[in-house]
Amino acid sequence: MDTLWEGNGLKKKILISLLSGMLLFSFVAGNVYATADLEKDLEKVEEKKEETRKQIDVNKATMEEIYEEVQLLDEEINEIERKIAELQEEVDAAEERIRQTEEELKQAEEERKEYKEVLDERIRVMYMFGDKSYLEVLFSADSFGDLISRLDMIRTVMEYDQEMFAKLEEVEQEIADKKEKIEEERKAIVNRQNQERQEKTSLDQVKASRQTYVRELESNTELLEKKENQLEQESAAIENKIQEHIRQQQAEQGGNDTHYGNGVYRWPTPGYGRITSPFGYRIHPIYGYQRMHTGVDISVGGRRGVSTVAVGDARVIYSTYMSGYGNTVILDLGTDSNGNNVTALYGHMASRYVSAGQRISAGTAVGEVGTTGASTGIHLHFEIRINGSPKNPLNYVSP
C-alpha cells in the first residue's frame, strides 16, 4: 500500500480529491436535508399561525358586529326609556286631571246635596201644611191680576226647583263620566307604559347576553393572540436555524469559489420598475415604528399573475413560507469577482415556482408577485445580500 501511495502521486491526489469531494457533498447534503426538515417544521408552524390568525380575525369581526348590535340596542333602549318617561308624564297629567275632576265631582255632589236639603225642607213644610200655604198665597191676592201673578210665581218656583235639581244631577253625571273617561285613558297609558317596560326588559336581556358573548370572545381572542405570539416566537426560532443553515451552505459554496454566471444581473420584474419603498430605514407600514428596510419594494401596478424572474444563473437554496416575508425564495448567485457570496431574496410572493436544490438560469420565473406575509399590497420585496449582509439592490440591478 505504501508503494502504491509513493509510486503513484497522481493517484494519491485523485483519491484525496475524491475523498474531499465526498466529505464536502456529505456536509452540504446534510445541511440541505436539515434545512428541508426545518422548512417542513416552519410550514407546520405557519399553518397553525394562519389558522390561529383566521380565528382571531373571525372573533374580532364577530365582536365588531356585536359592538354595532349593542350600540343599536342601546339606541332602542334609550328610545324606549324616553317613551316610558313621556308616558309617565301623561300618567301624571291624567292623575292630576282625575284629582281635579274628583274635586269638581265632590263640589257638585255637595251643591246637589245642599239644594236637595232645601227642597226636602220645602217639601217637608208643604207636607206639614198641605195645600194651605199655596191657598193662602192665592186667596190673599188683592186682585185677579195679583192672583195670576202669584200663580206664575208658584209655577216658576216649582219649575226652577225641578230644573235646578235636574241640572245638578246632570252636572254631577257629566263630571262622573269625565272622571271615568280619564281613568280609562290613564289605564290605557299605564298599559302602554308596561308594554314599553316589558320591551325594555327584553332588550336589556338581549344586550346582557350579547355583552357576555363579547366577553367570552375577548377572552378567547386574548388566548389566541398569546398562542399566536408563541407561534411567532417558534417560527422566528426556526427561521433563525434555517438562516444559519443557509449561511453555512453559502460559506461552503463561497469557499469553493462557485460561479453560476458572469456576475451581470437582470431586473427581477421585467416591464415593472417603479420603486415604492427604497432600501434603508423607514417607518414600517404595518408595525408603525422605524426599522431597516433590507431591500426594495417593486410595484407591479396592483396586478395579479405577474411573474418575477431569477436575476442570474443560480441555485435555489431556500423556497418556503416565512412569517414576515411570506412566500420566499432565496437564490445563491455564486461569488462575485472579489470572492464574496451573492444571494438574492424574493419576498411576499403569491406562489413559488421553484424548490430548494434546483439550478436555474437567469430569467427563469421563480414565483408570482403577491402580498403574503407582513405586506400591505401586491408588490415584490427584493434583496441582494453579500456574504449574508443586505446591500442596496439598485447597486447591482436596474430596471
Residue 110, Cβ density class (10 Å: 0-12 exposed, 13-18 middle, ≥19 buried): exposed
Q: Quick check: 41 pLDDT over 60?
A: yes
Tens digits of residue pLDDT in 179-231: 788 888 888 888 988 888 888 888 889 888 888 888 888 888 888 888 777 76
Q: Quick check: 172 pLDDT over 90?
A: no
3-class DSSP assignment, residue 133: helix
**pLDDT > 70: percent of the chain:** 69
Tens digits of residue pLDDT in 349-372: 999 999 988 999 999 999 999 999
Rounded Cα gap, residues 117 and 288, in angstroms:
96
| CA distances to 13, 279, 296, 380, 398 from 275, in Å | 52, 10, 7, 10, 11
Report phi then psi at 389, rounded to 5: -95, 130
At residue 301, the pLDDT reads 92
Cell digits for 71?
Answer: 350600540
At residue 157, the pLDDT reads 66
**Mean pLDDT across 32-61:** 76
What CATH code would you report for 31-256? 1.10.287
Q: In the structure, what pLDDT confidence band is assigned to residue 6 with cuts at 50, 70 and 90?
A: very low
Residue ranges of domains in the chain? 31-256, 258-399
Tens digits of residue pLDDT in 54-83: 888 888 888 888 888 888 888 888 988 888
Q: 261, 333 in Cβ contact below 8 A? A: yes
Fold of 258-399: Glucose Permease (Domain IIA) (2.70.70)
At residue 210, the pLDDT reads 85
Q: In the structure, what pLDDT confidence band is assigned to residue 23 with cuts at 50, 70 and 90?
A: very low
* 40 compared with 152, residue with greater pLDDT: 40
**CA-based torsion, 21, 27, 32, 36: positive or negative:** positive
Report phi then psi at 64, rounded to 5: -65, -40
